[in-house]
A and B are shown apart, each in its own frame.
Chain A
Amino acid sequence: RKEVEQDPGPFNVPEGATVAFNCTYSNSASQSFFWYRQDCRKEPKLLMSVYSSGNEDGRFTAQLNRASQYISLLIRDSKLSDSATYLCVVNPYAGGTSYGKLTFGQGTILTVHP
């Protein structure tokens, strides 16, 4: 079983749609969780951290369920510029992404069309 699993998609949605991505992780000792965005042939960039209480950043909402070892990302009012691969990332250490070895999911491809 992969340490971090995501539905690879692809997800093809029209502009303005709401889309949700799911992710599960196998290491129950994992402490911190993130969503990254990766554009084609580019490095991944941090989109947002994920907290147990759930957190929102503009059109993006992230949720964490530690009991189920499940992470989600919701994108509302999709824009063309949201087209990218979204990576679910887990860190065995608490805090930011600095410490410890990040484990990446295989990514979910999103394409937003006009």
Chain B
Amino acid sequence: GAVVSQHPSWVICKSGTSVKIECRSLDFQATTMFWYRQFPKQSLMLMATSNEGSKATYEQGVEKDKFLINHASLTLSTLTVTSAHPEDSSFYICSGYSSYNEQFFGPGTRLTVL
């Protein structure tokens, strides 16, 4: 199957700082990527749909000014958590799809905000 990478795999930051997470499709071009968030013992919740060359579409309840998404190329989407707070601590996972007709998930980024 196709490969999606995320960087960093984990990050610890102080409250109030911003954190950027990169999601790359390594062997396919992803017109659309999705960003999910997973809190402990909970399911993955879709945060936003990232479209190459256009603005992301955010799910209800997700602050677009806090979670900035940029999808500047067909292989890279970034999620920036601005002014992070402890309640933003979570497991962030991106996914993309190719002509394989399957959505491929990145390995996730574990964010801890102190």
Binding site for B on A (CB under 8 A): 4, 8, 41-46, 87, 95-99, 101-107
Return A44 CB to nearest CB of chain B, in Å.
Answer: 6
Per the CB 8 Å criterion, the residue count for chain B at the interface is 21
16 pairs from A and B in contact (CB 8 Å cutoff): A42-B107, A43-B93, A43-B106, A43-B108, A44-B44, A87-B44, A96-B101, A97-B102, A97-B103, A98-B97, A98-B98, A98-B102, A101-B34, A101-B46, A102-B103, A104-B43
Query: If the complex has contacts A41-B110, A42-B107, A101-B49, are A107 and B43 also in contact, measured as CB distance less than 8 A?
Result: yes
Contact: A44 with B42, CB < 8 Å?
A: no
Give the CA-CA distance A46 to B4 in the complex, in Å. 14
CB nearest neighbor in B for A88: B43
Given pairs A42-B107, A102-B44, A106-B41, 14 additional interface contacts (CB within 8 A): A8-B41, A41-B108, A43-B106, A44-B44, A44-B93, A96-B100, A97-B102, A98-B100, A98-B102, A99-B97, A102-B34, A102-B103, A104-B44, A107-B43
Contact: B105 with A45, CB < 8 Å?
A: yes
Q: What are the nearest 5 A-B pairs in CB distance?
A: A96-B101, A98-B97, A43-B105, A97-B103, A106-B43
Contact: B103 with A87, CB < 8 Å?
A: no
Which chain B residues lie closer than 8 Å to A97 at the CB level?
Answer: 97, 101-103
Give the CA-CA distance A44 to B102 in the complex, in Å. 13
Which positions 31-56 of chain B face chain A at CB distance < 8 Å? 34, 41-46, 49
